[in-house]
Structure 1
């Protein structure tokens, strides 16, 4: 179990760093979006490339930050009923969800996404829009993002099993911040460590 817990901590650390790095892509996407809108309305000109780079950045944010979101236990869930149950029962519900829903779905998507991305890379696929960008980097993000999510799902499984065995404290997988102010402070603290 010690090896698995070490593996879990490594996966957590990697996804934490990627998640924090992807936060800069959000800033870049917002700046590009605002700049594109300003140019379009003031100079009455635009480019499909600028629109597509926004889409690619939002795809990168969504795909690469989903494992970070799972790591921080921030995924959408219905806590109305589970919140009233004991921590052990909640952990069993999580285990069921990871084993029956999350991991099978991520593995199915990976099964289809890898050849899909490889074909796009082999063909050096380019957007069909005039002035569009190359498409294969965006398509390559699909298997990368779902591989991260699969690994984070495995990490979460390890932590939940460790909790049930009495080897892991629940604080390792509970939400890290409950208010926006606490979330901002957590991000500041994480950035100071890097």
Structure 2
């Protein structure tokens, strides 16, 4: 199971990286179009879709690498059971919030698909397509938070606190 979950987080990160390449390609096409006097309709919208995809698809991988911003002012002073309890409380809240986020992201994509909603931009893209990346990203984030919750519950969770973070608090 661990290998599958790690593969899921890594695959999501690779898709996020490909989305960033997509942003680059769209921006370069837009620049080239202006310089060479041709217009590729929708490049700005597609760059935006790819940027949103990159952000959402990278969420779980960033969480699992402990690179999300954490406020450890109180947590850093606790040890033992008190720290474990606070971590579980925070992860429980995170699971609930990520669950709501994923539910509404999936619902948004579903509604857009069911009513055939399209972009108001000149690209006229069916909106469920870019919204699907948001739904997938939030679902993988929910899985990652549940994974972290179970690791913390069992006492197997490792949170590496960098020295740099400690210097800035």
The verdict on how the C-alpha distance between 1:50 and 1:115 changes in structure 2, with shifts beyond 3 A counting, is: same
| Contact map agreement 1:12 1:155 (CA 8 A) in 2 | no
For the residue of structure 2 that corresponds to 1:130, the secondary structure is coil
Give the match for residue 182 of structure 1.
none
The offset of 1:48, in angstroms, is 4.2
Is 1:73 paired with 2:59?
A: no
Is 1:98 paired with 2:91?
A: yes
1:129 is matched with which residue: 97, 117, 121?
121
The offset of 1:119, in angstroms, is 2.0
Measure the CA separation in 2 of the matches of 1:159 and 1:140. Answer: 28
| Contact map agreement 2:109 2:127 (CA 8 A) in 1 | no
The verdict on how the C-alpha distance between 1:47 and 1:10 changes in structure 2, with shifts beyond 3 A counting, is: same
Give the match for residue 187 of structure 1.
none
For the residue of structure 1 that corresponds to 2:58, the secondary structure is helix
Give the match for residue 7 of structure 2.
13
Measure the CA separation in 1 of the matches of 2:113 and 2:49. Answer: 16
| Contact map agreement 2:45 2:121 (CA 8 A) in 1 | no
Is 1:54 paired with 2:43?
A: no
2:160 is matched with which residue: 168, 174, 188?
174
Q: Deviation digits for residues 28-80 of structure 1, max 9, x if unmatched?
A: 3123223313423x245544411111111111111111011111111111134
- TM-score for the superposition, normalised by structure 1: 0.71
Structure 1: which 5+ runs fail to align?
Answer: 1-5, 180-194
Is 1:86 paired with 2:72?
A: no
The offset of 1:96, in angstroms, is 1.3
Give the match for residue 29 of structure 2.
35
Give the length in aligned residue pairs.
164
Measure the CA separation in 2 of the matches of 1:178 and 1:124. Answer: 50
